[in-house]
A and B are shown apart, each in its own frame.
Chain A
Amino acid sequence: MNPALKETWKQEPPSQFLLWVDGVGGFLICLENRVTLGQAGGEKSDIGILADISRHHATIQRDPEGYFLEAVRKVTINGQPVEKGFLHSGDRLTLGPSCQFLFTQPVPISASARLEPVSGHRFVQPVGAVIMMADSLVIGPEPAHVVMEDLPKPIILFRNPGGLGIRHDRPMTINGHAFKDRGPLEPGAKVKTEGLALALEIPQARR
């Protein structure tokens, strides 16, 4: 086994990072089990949104049973006002008057969930969607968290004890080093395979 695998993420992994996938898009990956959603500019929220909502508007908690939403301010799920409740794949989550997200768990065998704005609102981070990564994150043809139809074999990001790794059935390079089918990931890692290029970035605190 590759010795590099042991020292995957040298320090404790950050609570979130940005995933840039060439030709597909940018994603904010949250690794914590609990994230808070709120208006941009507030330090209180893990996921900042440019919308007419509260600084701390809602919390989403990943439990063994599923994703549990706790509303701090007005939240509706599929049009029904809720204070607490589980989220199901395909639910439309509306924060405040207009900011709406589509909540999905696109890959049945993975607990990871995707939160995608559908009302034209933007995250503070310049990304198209937030992924709450549980054990793994699938990039490839559907079903996947990051859909890329052209990719012949899926690429899987997974949690390691103490870090993150990447698995792919094809040869790849991580920061220029060649790996056969799996390799370690760290902040700033740039992965290139024959099918795609992706990069991990730790977001800087923005204003």
Chain B
Amino acid sequence: MLMKFTYSCGQKPLDGYEVKRGVGRGGFGEVYFGLSEGGKEVALKVIQSHLEIELRGIQQCLNLKHANLVHLYDIRTDAKGDRWLVMEYVAGESLNTILARHPNGVAPELACQWFQGLAAAIHYLHDHGIVHRDLKPANIFLEAGSVKVGDYGLCKFIGGSQRLGQTQSVGTVHYMAPEISTGNYNRQIDVYAAGVILYEMLSGHVPFEGETAGEILMKHLTSPPDLTKVPGEFRPVLDTALAKNPAQRFQTIAEMGRRVAAVVAKKAEPIEIPIRVLDAAPSLNGKADVLEGIPIGHPPRPRLLELSNSLLLAIILSGVFAFAWTILTQRGDWRTLRQATGTTFFITLLSSAAVLVAAKVWSARQSDESWHRRITLMCLGFCVGIVALWFDGFQLPWPMTEDPNPDALRSVANVGAQAGRGPSFLGGYRDNQTLPPMAAYLSYFGLMFLVLRWWKMAELYRPARFRVGSLIAAVFWAFVLSHLLLESTNGPEAFGIMILTAAVVQLASPWQERPVQRSKRLRLKLA
């Protein structure tokens, strides 16, 4: 279809402006690209079929300024008496052209971004008492990524060409709110049209299509829009925006813009969940919960790998530390030291492994209550205590009796016969023997596991790989508890095991600097 233009390149129908080429034909008439004498690029629109009342509508808009509006510069009259609207020339494409290239719609994030520009422009117009009345993709331009809305102020005159050269009578009925048929309408028609445009951006189709303008108008009046063509999360917004009854639509375009932004923000932001937890339960240790929440995205496989790496590292570290600790704290011959090292090593490894596994399991969860974790750890502590007791029974006679071949039966018997165990490791109990060894061991390890937040030492995003503070806390509690429960002489091992555990857990757990992250929702809030 040839677009016939009255003026051609080089002509100066309007004093001071030179026409370069025809751009298109709007409802009002031809639009040209031209240059002013100074070289300013402008769009020149001939208002061929004008009425004074329409000109007043444009005049009213001449001094509006908004980043998302195509600026109007002036209204001029040429020698023939034709009125010309001199406007900003937008170098980008119209949304109409872009949608023609994307028959299945554009990405929801992009649609949302463009919609925000559109909503801002409409809000500005509404705020200045102007109803656009002719919103359609052909009037919306995208220049360097930002939206420019044009053809405002052309009140009453609703028309124009539809994509792919449909006749003018069909024109913009695709975007016409049902109440236009009654002639009684207000800015709610812009909300409706914005809803149609959002629908079209998301699906590539207008919600109501038909052969004739009458058929389409009838669908606007009676048919509910088919929302199955748009992504599910947008359906509630479109359902409200495309309501037949204007009173049921969004009351302002700004409200609709916020809802659309929220849809995309929600979709793009899995990290939002812990923030909601924080919102919902501010009385909890909220910061900790958020910190816990960050590694949600970890797929299970790396976690398993990380865990096995940590455990391997824990074996080595426990061995080294246990040996060092024994050398530092024990006296005796080589055999004694070897036995003591062995015991310390196994129990340290066991308790470290208990913490590492538990922490790894918890790292997959967004939030758990602290006391719940502590109780779980305490149970693990009981298990460690039982094993320690068993080990102790095993090892009990060695330092004193120098028996090279203790057998299990005797060891178990020794555990049972703790009362008579004078010079043993457990014999270091206070003289008045308030606690039986089983209770002592269980309560020592159980409480040690209960009082500290061990999982914090194994977190991926802890403040530092090794925090002396955590170690000091462990030293403090181990000191207090071992002295309360176990008393003097048995100290070194039980005391040492928990301290070494605190060191091993921290050193063996993977550690990363916390990435600087802010949720999109917060970013939007701040913007």
Interface of A toward B, CB cutoff 8 Å: 18, 20-26, 120, 122, 126, 128, 150, 188, 190, 193-197, 199, 201, 206-207
Most buried by B among A20, A193, A196: A20
Q: Kindly identify which residue among A122, A196, A199 contacts B9, using a CB–CB cutoff of 8 Å.
A: A199
Contacts A126-B41, A201-B9 given; does A196 touch B2 at CB 8 Å? yes
Q: Say yes or no: is B33 at the interface (Cβ < 8 Å to chain A).
A: yes
CA distance A24 to B91 in the complex (A): 11
Contacts A20-B9, A126-B41, A188-B10 given; does A120 touch B21 at CB 8 Å? no
Known contacts A120-B144, A195-B2, then 14 further A-B pairs from the complex at CB < 8 Å, ordered by chain A residue: A21-B21, A22-B8, A23-B23, A24-B21, A126-B33, A128-B91, A150-B1, A190-B9, A193-B2, A196-B2, A196-B3, A199-B9, A201-B10, A207-B39
Query: Across the interface, do A126 and B35 meet the contact criterion of CB distance under 8 Å?
Result: yes
Query: Across the interface, do B10 and A22 meet the contact criterion of CB distance under 8 Å?
Result: no
Query: Across the interface, do B41 and A199 meet the contact criterion of CB distance under 8 Å?
Result: no
Query: Across the interface, do B8 and A199 meet the contact criterion of CB distance under 8 Å?
Result: yes
Most buried by A among B3, B24, B41: B3
CA distance A22 to B39 in the complex (A): 20
- Chain A residues positioned under 8 Å from B91 (CB to CB): 122, 128
CA distance A203 to B366 in the complex (A): 65
Query: Across the interface, do B22 and A23 meet the contact criterion of CB distance under 8 Å?
Result: yes
- Chain A residues positioned under 8 Å from B144 (CB to CB): 120
Shortest beta-carbon distance from A28 to chain B in Å: 12
Query: Across the interface, do A194 and B9 meet the contact criterion of CB distance under 8 Å?
Result: no
Shortest beta-carbon distance from B257 to chain A in Å: 24
CA distance A195 to B91 in the complex (A): 23
Q: Which chain A residue lies CB-closest to B92?
A: A120
Query: Across the interface, do A194 and B2 meet the contact criterion of CB distance under 8 Å?
Result: yes
CA distance A207 to B37 in the complex (A): 12
- Chain B residues positioned under 8 Å from A199 (CB to CB): 8-10, 21
Contacts A122-B91, A199-B9, A201-B10 given; does A25 touch B2 at CB 8 Å? no
- Chain B residues positioned under 8 Å from A20 (CB to CB): 9, 20-21
Query: Across the interface, do A26 and B8 meet the contact criterion of CB distance under 8 Å?
Result: no
- Chain A residues positioned under 8 Å from B22 (CB to CB): 22-23, 197
- Chain B residues positioned under 8 Å from A22 (CB to CB): 3, 5, 8, 21-23
Q: Kindly identify which residue among B3, B10, B41 contacts A23, using a CB–CB cutoff of 8 Å.
A: B3
Query: Across the interface, do A206 and B9 meet the contact criterion of CB distance under 8 Å?
Result: no
- Chain B residues positioned under 8 Å from A24 (CB to CB): 21
- Chain B residues positioned under 8 Å from A196 (CB to CB): 2-3
Interface of B toward A, CB cutoff 8 Å: 1-3, 5, 8-10, 20-24, 33, 35, 39, 41, 91, 143-145, 165
CA distance A113 to B22 in the complex (A): 25
26 residue pairs bridging A and B, Cβ less than 8 Å apart: A21-B21, A22-B3, A22-B5, A23-B3, A23-B22, A23-B23, A23-B24, A26-B20, A26-B33, A120-B143, A120-B144, A122-B91, A126-B20, A126-B33, A126-B39, A128-B91, A150-B1, A190-B8, A194-B2, A196-B2, A199-B10, A199-B21, A201-B10, A201-B20, A206-B39, A207-B39
Query: Across the interface, do B10 and A197 meet the contact criterion of CB distance under 8 Å?
Result: no
- Chain A residues positioned under 8 Å from B20 (CB to CB): 18, 20, 26, 126, 201
Q: Which chain A residue lies CB-closest to B89?
A: A126
Q: Which chain A residue lies CB-closest to B25?
A: A23
Shortest beta-carbon distance from B32 to chain A in Å: 9
Dominant secondary structure of chain A at its interface with chain B: loop
Query: Across the interface, do B21 and A25 meet the contact criterion of CB distance under 8 Å?
Result: yes
- Chain B residues positioned under 8 Å from A21 (CB to CB): 21
The 7 lowest CB-CB distance pairs between A and B, nearest first, are A199-B9, A120-B144, A20-B21, A22-B22, A20-B9, A23-B3, A126-B41
- Chain B residues positioned under 8 Å from A128 (CB to CB): 91
Query: Across the interface, do B41 and A197 meet the contact criterion of CB distance under 8 Å?
Result: no
Query: Across the interface, do B8 and A197 meet the contact criterion of CB distance under 8 Å?
Result: yes
Most buried by B among A23, A25, A207: A23
Shortest beta-carbon distance from A207 to chain B in Å: 8
Q: Which chain A residue lies CB-closest to B5?
A: A22
CA distance A206 to B22 in the complex (A): 22
CA distance A188 to B22 in the complex (A): 16
CA distance A196 to B21 in the complex (A): 11
Shortest beta-carbon distance from A24 to chain B in Å: 8
CA distance A23 to B33 in the complex (A): 10
Shortest beta-carbon distance from A198 to chain B in Å: 8
- Chain B residues positioned under 8 Å from A197 (CB to CB): 5, 8, 22
Shortest beta-carbon distance from A120 to chain B in Å: 3
- Chain A residues positioned under 8 Å from B39 (CB to CB): 126, 206-207
Shortest beta-carbon distance from A193 to chain B in Å: 8
CA distance A20 to B22 in the complex (A): 9
CA distance A112 to B87 in the complex (A): 34
Shortest beta-carbon distance from A100 to chain B in Å: 12
Shortest beta-carbon distance from B245 to chain A in Å: 40
- Chain A residues positioned under 8 Å from B5 (CB to CB): 22, 197
CA distance A23 to B24 in the complex (A): 5
- Chain B residues positioned under 8 Å from A194 (CB to CB): 2
CA distance A22 to B22 in the complex (A): 5
Q: Which chain A residue lies CB-closest to B1?
A: A150
- Chain A residues positioned under 8 Å from B143 (CB to CB): 120
Shortest beta-carbon distance from B399 to chain A in Å: 69
- Chain A residues positioned under 8 Å from B9 (CB to CB): 20, 190, 199, 201
Q: Which chain A residue lies CB-closest to B38?
A: A207
- Chain A residues positioned under 8 Å from B21 (CB to CB): 20-26, 199
Most buried by A among B1, B8, B35: B8
CA distance A46 to B2 in the complex (A): 34
CA distance A20 to B1 in the complex (A): 18
CA distance A128 to B165 in the complex (A): 24
Most buried by A among B21, B35, B39: B21
Shortest beta-carbon distance from A51 to chain B in Å: 13
- Chain A residues positioned under 8 Å from B41 (CB to CB): 126
Q: Which chain A residue lies CB-closest to B41?
A: A126
- Chain A residues positioned under 8 Å from B3 (CB to CB): 22-23, 196
Shortest beta-carbon distance from A185 to chain B in Å: 13
Shortest beta-carbon distance from B20 to chain A in Å: 5
Q: Which chain B residue lies CB-closest to A207?
A: B39
- Chain A residues positioned under 8 Å from B23 (CB to CB): 22-23
CA distance A207 to B35 in the complex (A): 14
Shortest beta-carbon distance from A97 to chain B in Å: 16
CA distance A173 to B130 in the complex (A): 46
- Chain B residues positioned under 8 Å from A26 (CB to CB): 20-21, 33
CA distance A173 to B42 in the complex (A): 28
Q: Which chain A residue lies CB-closest to B20?
A: A20
CA distance A126 to B41 in the complex (A): 7
CA distance A22 to B34 in the complex (A): 12
